[in-house]
Amino acid sequence: VLSDAPEAVRIEAYAHADQVLSSCAASGTDILLPSDERYPEGLRQLHDAPGILFARGSLLMAAAPSVAIVGTRAASSYGLRVA
């Protein structure tokens, strides 16, 4: 929990969060939580749904059947084996 972290760590974390929020605002990126009514219902039903979803553009298509490609810049050894 961040409240238990040393003050310097908290300051850095809050500064980074502020940068992310500013970048999202500048690029028109919405930040959605599962409690947001715009959060896609299909994702909300997953047992390991993303806690934060960054989205740009219309979310209307999120309700239609779709396919997603998800990747990572730093795959785990398990992820590399099963990919």
Find out whether 41 and 65 touch, Cβ atoms under 8 Å: no
- Total residues found in the chain within this entry: 83
The type of residue at 48 is D
- For 18-41, the pLDDT digits (tens) are 999 999 999 999 999 999 999 988
- For 44-58, the pLDDT digits (tens) are 888 888 999 999 988
Burial 28-62 (b: 16+ CB within 10 A, else e): eeeebeeeeeebbeeeeeeeeeeeebebeeeeeeb
Would you say the pTM of this structure is higher than 0.95? no
Find out whether 52 and 31 touch, Cβ atoms under 8 Å: yes
